[in-house]
Each structure stands twice: as structure tokens, then as C-alpha cells.
Amino acid sequence: MHRPIRLTPDDDMAAIHALLTRSFAYMEDRIDPPSSLNRMTPETFADEARRHELWAILDPAPVACMVLTPKPDHLYLGKLAIAENRRGEGLARIMTDHAIARAAAIGLPAVVLQTRIELTENHATFTRLGFAETGRTAHPGYDRPTSVTFSRPVPQALARP
């Protein structure tokens, strides 16, 4: 059984960066503006692990990862990546279910994420994972939506009283 583990800044962030770079490569020619990943380095992910929560499934190298950032009214799920050769194994479900459990553990009512408007296959995947579209936003300088916001509530059974 695959279980996400929380990484520390001292873990192998080059491997996390490489997983994300490979996993996000398909979108390079499809999205506008370019992904923020293009400006990120292994040191960026060490900082994410220090300031937020960086989770990964290791087998033994990273095959899935995500960054969780607590916000006042939700837990933000960012930079979710699944290794291409491991897609279809349920790793995205394991990661998003873990995000829901983390939100419940820290008393937040929902997990929120964003994906680019052009990536309709991601919209379908997140819908299958229990997320619903809750909005559309534009990056600075754009007069059209560039991202779709999805939210998944923490089930009452998990919510803290």
C-alpha cells in the first residue's frame, strides 16, 4: 500500500523537482501563461517543505507529490504530480484523500486546488476525485479566465467539532 510521507527540507528535492518537471512537461505548449514551475528549483521545494507541507509517495524514488498550504478557510493543494508510468494506479486518489484527511486534522472545511483552463483532462480527473468547480480566475494581465478552481469539502464524519 502506498502512503504519502511528509518530506523535510533535507530530503531529496532534486528528485521532487524532476518528478514535477517530467509530469508537467505535457502542458508547456498548451497553457498561457507558462507554469510557475518554470521558475522553481529544488531549493524552492525545500522552502515549500519548510514553510508548508510537502508530501510524496516514494517507491523508492518519488512517484507522486503535492504541496499543501493552510489558508484561513481551506487547505490549498498545489503542484500535484503523478509519475507518467504510474498513472492509473490510484495514486492521485491516495494523494487527494490524504489532503482531505490533513484538512480535517487541522480543522479546515475543504481542500481547494486550481488547474489551467486548457487542461480539460485535469478537470475531468478532479471531478472524478470528488472535486467540483467553484470558480474561474485570470492571471495578472489577462482579460480571460486562465485557471479553474475546484473544491472538495471535508466529509462531516472527518470534520473536527
pTM for the whole structure: 0.94
Give the mean pLDDT of the chain. Answer: 94
Could you give the CA distance from residue 159 to residue 161 in angstroms, rounded to a whole number?
6
Above 80 in pLDDT, residue 1? no
Q: What confidence score (pLDDT) does residue 65 get?
A: 98
Above 70 in pLDDT, residue 158? no
Q: Are 148 and 113 in contact (CB under 8 A)?
A: no
pLDDT band at 159 (very low <50, low <70, confident <90, very high): low
pLDDT digits (tens, 9 = 90+) for 100-133: 999 999 999 999 999 999 999 999 999 999 999 9
Q: What confidence score (pLDDT) does residue 18 get?
A: 96
Domains of the chain: 5-153 (3.40.630.30)
Q: What confidence score (pLDDT) does residue 156 get?
A: 75
C-alpha cell read off for 119: 487542461
